[in-house]
Amino acid sequence: MKFTKNNNCNDCTLKCDIYNALKESGEDFSIIKPIHVYYDRNEYICKQGSSVTHAIYLVEGSAKLFIEGLNNRNITLYIITPDSYIGLLSFFETPDYSYSVKAIESSRICMVDIDTMKKLYAGNHDFLLKLNKAFGKSVKSILGKIITLNQKNIRGRIADSLLYLSELYKSDSFNMLLSRKELGELSAISEENAVRLLTELRKEGIINVTGKNITIVDKKLLRKISEIG
């Protein structure tokens, strides 16, 4: 982890919501002092229980958002890719993060002090509504996850996770960046069963597996499995 202060939004290639809101407001860019941070794989970007001090935006790389459960068992809710908010679910109301985020590859984030954010959306209604929209979307996906985790068998769950990753990376062939254990955590499956299921699906000709590289061969069938298990 290393960080740089004194960044200037004008030099940033990413024209994020915050930038746009600020530009619209006509305010000086000096009011926000964005901090850029670089993380290696497996480093915490934010930790469940710690206080929410900044709005965090993922600029580069990818990260997993997970809840830290009992006896070190985690459940990964989803993978975050650029460019989207990391701090979102805990942004309103809660003083502390109710989840953790870890980089799953080298990643870069940009963070803006929460007071500055508040000032910003106090004067910009659309900005707040945009935050809400993203927020609402997250919630919807979480509700779907609850059903998946509680009502599908492990075969259906792993199929779900693979389809999810394929959609996330917008390709039938992708490097999932996750270890077998982490893939398990995305589907609430033990590591051993995650391995077994990947092997099973491979032998059935539904996917190809080479290390962490997955290719979905028969998407139709995988979708069926996701439905009926």
Partner DNA sequence: AATAAAAGTTGTTTTAAAACAATGTTGTAA
Partner DNA sequence: TTACAACATTGTTTTAAAACAACTTTTATT
By CB under 7 A, what part of segment 138-177 binds DNA?
A: 153-155
The answer to the question of residue 180 lying near a copy of itself (CB under 8 A) is no
The answer to the question of residue 211 lying near DNA (CB under 7 A) is yes
Tokens of 218: 């028969």
Q: Which of 29, 69, 205, 213 binds a copy of itself (CB under 8 A)?
A: 69
Binding mask 2-41 for a copy of itself (x = CB under 8 A): ----------------------------------------
The answer to the question of residue 140 lying near a copy of itself (CB under 8 A) is yes
Q: Which residues bind DNA (CB under 7 A)?
A: 153-155, 179-181, 188-193, 195-196, 198-199, 209, 211-212
Binding positions for a copy of itself, rule: CB under 8 A: 67, 69-70, 73, 75, 77, 89-94, 98-99, 122, 125, 128-129, 132-140, 142-147, 149-152, 188
